[in-house]
A and B are shown apart, each in its own frame.
Chain A
């Protein structure tokens, strides 16, 4: 399979022709100067070429909740969103806390073929927070697990967290912490602030996230381990991570697209009225000041990467009263557009910056070989082509994801993925699955 991508702007630069051959980038040259004899020609003029995106935080729901998402449907959504690799979170049923389950998920990903699926292993057995799962067995399995997380639940026990941080050093693993102090968030529904007070919904204080992040940074420093913070949502968290990094500690962090764009005001005032749980998510949407701080932190590198926290839920789990609704939003098919809206169109990041935050850095944190670029001859041909000039009205009816719980329905967002290549093979062409 050979493809010649004609006139693509690599990381937003001058138009180039890119030749993909035998799974690798064979040549990049000025337009018309690359020999594309025998190759499939793709008109990429006006399109931006980015390394295939890597998501550190995806819920594929299989095994257990195939009504919400499957590996097949979730990875199809990922490919349409420009991703060539996703990290599948461990809170499935059964929990991905053994070599058997992570290998099953990994194989399902291989069979689906839309993008690479890198399973995340649970930190504790059954996400119960009592004893460590068999982290080494998962690391040694065919799935080669390097990221461990109890996501959805915080590893709140300080001793257990310390042990996990220490233990994964043996195989260069990282613990990705879902920072949520459980006692401070009992029954919590949304960000604790003016809006929660007015709506009478139980508040979810920023300090519940920040206290755990501060503790874990100190623990990681103490034992000399890597720590990754999932879905940072507050300005205070940004300050703590900035401080930890200034100490030279090996702390990384991610932010979701929705925390870069949306605020808790949507709970009170949205096109669909107040109390629509489509905006209910963990961690909760915060304030405008938090959004501004998160954008700045992503721009200056304090926050390393964007991770979708794609969390599919069936319709019946969202068409309820707010407190009864499931937490989470889907995000794979809108992530790049939201980042363009929040970061590129605001001048905070250029396309090289987007490639760094959505591909290179997450691949490095996940120790994922073959992904993350750079786009140069000899590198694996994992890349995506984006039309940045298009604006589109979000309609979840057209999504590949089995779920429809997007908060962006009806919004108009910039940028659409036109094509995605996984090791030289197109998974998406002309905006459609191949």
Chain B
């Protein structure tokens, strides 16, 4: 009975803390001259990327390699997948190759859940459609914890295209599990219609929540939304929901600014805000490798995984 990391909603508080604590120990490895551990020697991790995401793929690849796993990169472009092979057939191929873990990035929400039905190895969701991106949320929480300490009672504001954001969904579940108070801010067009059971607050007014935030996380606005009437213009969006130096000035002193990247500088975040000392954007990238090492370690090192939801 293999287990997976498909959604942060599947993580208990203990699971989440175990991942973050493990990552805390593994962070030391990044500072050593030999950045490699023998732990996953002989294990095979497949990076199965149906969408271009060089950042995420490289991060998982570095994490797996630092744990001495064999890494196979399987990109959909130019492969049998682009010739019409189904996800199931791809899964059976990976299974036959003896993949111990499949890290999957896919444009379809739920694709990792489907994959988990077809392979024996662990499935790690590296972003599925407009659903979730669990390791991004974990590295965000790790980054917050390093800057702010315990997240219990901390107020996190997530601003942007919540409707299409896998980062927002994963963060809402995880931060709630860790005791933080999450507020989602977006124009009404970029929020799901029925959010009554989401464990967070929802606001249309960025300025109203700004001064009460310990963390402000800006989400990327996809270019394809800009011409689909979700908002009148990039300029108006930026004016109402962008983080500029003036808004930064109204945040509490110790509050931090986050962005999962890649950024639209000048759109959702001003360049000088992205580069300021309160921005954690570069740390987030570094921490990504560490957190993904922790996830791979906890899923793959033992006879059975220590974390993850049942599937």
Spell out A's residues near B (CB within 8 Å): 189, 192-194, 196-203, 205, 272-276, 316, 319-324
Contact at A273–B194, with CB atoms within 8 Å?
no
B residues contacting A by CB (< 8 A) are 86-88, 106-111, 113-114, 116-117, 128-132, 164, 166, 169, 192-198, 311
Residue A273 contacts which of B132, B197, B311 (CB distance < 8 angstroms)? B311
Taking A199-B109, A276-B114, A323-B108 as known contacts, 10 extra A-B pairs with beta carbons closer than 8 A to each other, sorted by chain A number, are A192-B194, A193-B193, A200-B166, A202-B130, A203-B193, A275-B109, A275-B110, A275-B113, A316-B86, A322-B114
CA distance A52 to B107 in the complex (A): 46
**Are A199 and B131 closer than 8 Å at their CB atoms?**
yes
Select which of A193, A199, A202, A273 is within 8 A of B116 by beta carbon.
A273
- Give the chain B neighbours of A192 by CB distance below 8 A: 193-194
Residue with the highest number of chain A CB atoms closer than 10 Å, among B114, B132, B166 = B114
**Residue in contact with B111 in the complex, picked from A189, A193, A198, A321, CB distance below 8 Å:** A321
A321 close to B116 (CB less than 8 A): no
**9 tightest Cβ-Cβ pairs between the two chains A and B:** A275-B110, A197-B192, A200-B131, A321-B108, A200-B130, A200-B109, A321-B111, A194-B194, A323-B108
**Contact residues in B for A189 (Cβ distance below 8 Å):** 109
Q: Is the CB of B87 within 8 A of A197?
A: no
Query: Main SS of the interface on chain A?
Result: loop
Q: How far is the CA of A320 from the CA of B86 in the complex (A)?
A: 7
Q: How far is the CB of B199 from chain A (nearest CB, A)?
A: 11
- Do B110 and A199 touch across chains, with their CB atoms under 8 A apart? yes
Residues of B within 8 A of A275 (CB): 109-111, 113-114
In the complex, A305 Cα to B276 Cα: how many Å? 66
Q: Which residue of A lies closest to B89 (CB)?
A: A316
Q: Find out whether the CB atom of A200 lies under 8 angstroms from the CB atom of B88.
A: no
**12 residue pairs A–B, Cβ–Cβ below 8 Å:** A196-B192, A197-B192, A197-B194, A200-B110, A203-B193, A273-B116, A275-B111, A320-B86, A320-B87, A321-B108, A322-B108, A323-B109
Given A275-B113, A321-B106, A200 and B195 contact (CB-CB distance below 8 Å): no
Q: Determine the chain B residues whose CB is within 8 A of the CB of A193 once the complex forms.
A: 193-194
Inter-subunit contact B131/A321 (CB<8 Å): no
Q: How far is the CA of A320 from the CA of B166 in the complex (A)?
A: 20
Given known A-B contacts A316-B86, A323-B129, A201 and B194 have beta carbons under 8 A apart = no
Is the beta-carbon distance between B109 and A320 smaller than 8 angstroms? no
B173 to chain A, nearest CB (A): 10
Shortest Cβ distance from A202 into B: residue? B130
B193–A201 CB distance below 8 A: no
Among A201, A274, A276, A321, residue most surrounded by chain B Cβ atoms (within 10 Å): A321
Minimum CB–CB distance for A410 against chain B, Å:
15
Closest to B7 in A: A274
Q: Which residues of B have CB within 8 Å of A320?
A: 86-88, 114
Residue among A202, A205, A273, A324 making CB contact with B113, cutoff 8 Å: A273
Q: Provide the residues of chain A in CB contact with B129, threshold 8 Å.
A: 200-201, 323
